[in-house]
A = this chain, B = another copy of it.
């Protein structure tokens, strides 16, 4: 009874946490969760559940292992004490698993032909309970049975509130992990039936469906992938299906439960393990991640490893942090300058003016992560000898034309650099400082710097660092920058260049 009290307390607090997340509008934080993380974490959690069922499967007594690597201690204990496994129980388990898998596969395959689905779980439970009762397996073979199960729904009462603080970690973990699994199923449904998921609405629903049932001493609940896929395959489309299955469960609780006394534990374990099949075969995802993106494969494997070594909550946390860190590292390493192709019109004008005007197009936000790389790339572009002629007929853009407008093979330093800032969707202080550094240092070597298509906020930041409008720095397009260079060149005898700069 005390254990059930603890479970009810976790349910209550987990529900309260989910409701708080809803009121704090944290539902949208699901964008932090990538598919490999959720897939590996749920597979790891399923592995834990399967591990916990193995002792019933083999009819063994296994002590409770907790803490890190607990799963490996369980397997080690089982392997060492494999001789204490009950042969009859093991045979029944294997038989049950085979029947369940075969019938479920048949259900899946012939669903379109025979319009009825065989409720093999229910049949197996009934048959095995009857067999156990009539053959008196409990005493003859020493098979574990479920034992007395209370009938009906208990009278509502408040869960033990004095232990709420002690179960805080479990409750928060459950709230986050449960929500993660549920929201991913919701996204799946939304994609299948093309509707929109409101994450905070989901949080409210899950929070309430934990808080209220906790007064009936329910265990923590979340959406069940296996049940959801079963409903899909039966052709369910609306939530009426859930209502019907809830009524069925209610009927079972009131009328069938007393007869579950004789249900062998090994059969129950088989039903649970086979129900987790959908989550366990997510191992197949590994192949697609390997083919599409190796980084995601690494995320999957490492998150799965952490999950089975520790627990689902730690695995989830690790996966989120690791995938974010990996994403940042890739961002830092990706090129900051875009492949640019100059418009034909601009190119004509370009060659008219000066052969050593260079042009780079920033294709990424500039912030502390890639500001240094941006400086390096810009410098290497400036110093690169332009050895690429203009192959207009070449169907694939030659990689060496990246970021260079200029087709001339010149070894002298560029006389002007045009930076197309249209891709800088945001910047931080370091990014603005990098551009300011270019604007400050290149003119010392006789290279003019012109910024095209700057965002207003970037202009403001550069003005704060001393690059005012009077510097003839900002242009609304690469073309107008080229026009400015042209007019400057033609009036180069005058001390003051014509004021064609605008903003």
Contacts and interface: CB of A to CB of B under 8 A. Distances in A.
Contacts of A344: 343-345
A331 B464 CA distance: 24
A425 B34 contact: no
A464 B288 contact: yes
B334 A426 contact: yes
B363 A423 contact: yes
Given A328-B324, A367-B327, A480-B395, A372 B31 contact: yes
A327 B369 contact: yes
Interface in A324-341: 324-325, 327-328, 330-332, 334-335, 338-339, 341
Contacts of A289: 429
Interface in A141-190: none
Contacts of A343: 343-344
A369 B31 contact: yes
Contact of A429 (B33, B296, B477): B296
A394 to B, nearest CB: 9
A36 B368 CA distance: 10
A502 interface: yes
Contacts of A331: 331, 365
Contact of A292 (B328, B365, B429): B429
A388 interface: no
Interface in A486-503: 502-503
A453 interface: yes
A234 interface: no
A36 B426 contact: no
Given A291-B461, A461-B291, A395 B502 contact: yes
A457 to B, nearest CB: 9
Interface in A423-465: 423, 425-430, 432-433, 437, 453, 460-461, 464-465
A397 B368 CA distance: 28
Contacts of A36: 429
Interface string A199-226: 0000000000000000000000000000
B429 A461 contact: no
Contacts of A335: 425
Interface string A31-54: 101111000000000000000000
A356 interface: no
A368 B35 contact: yes
- Tally of this chain's copies: 2
Given A296-B428, A369-B327, A502-B395, A35 B288 contact: no
Contacts of A503: 396
B464 A368 contact: no
A428 B34 contact: yes
A422 interface: yes
A330 B334 CA distance: 17
A293 interface: yes
Nearest to A194: B441
A188 B325 CA distance: 27
A364 interface: yes
Interface in A302-346: 323-325, 327-328, 330-332, 334-335, 338-339, 341, 343-345
A295 interface: yes
Nearest to A432: B292
A249 B429 CA distance: 39
Interface of A: 31, 33-36, 191, 288-289, 291-293, 295-296, 323-325, 327-328, 330-332, 334-335, 338-339, 341, 343-345, 363-365, 367-369, 372, 395-397, 422-423, 425-430, 432-433, 437, 453, 460-461, 464-465, 476-477, 480, 502-503
11 contacts: A35-B368, A289-B429, A291-B464, A292-B428, A292-B461, A293-B428, A324-B324, A327-B368, A341-B477, A344-B345, A395-B480
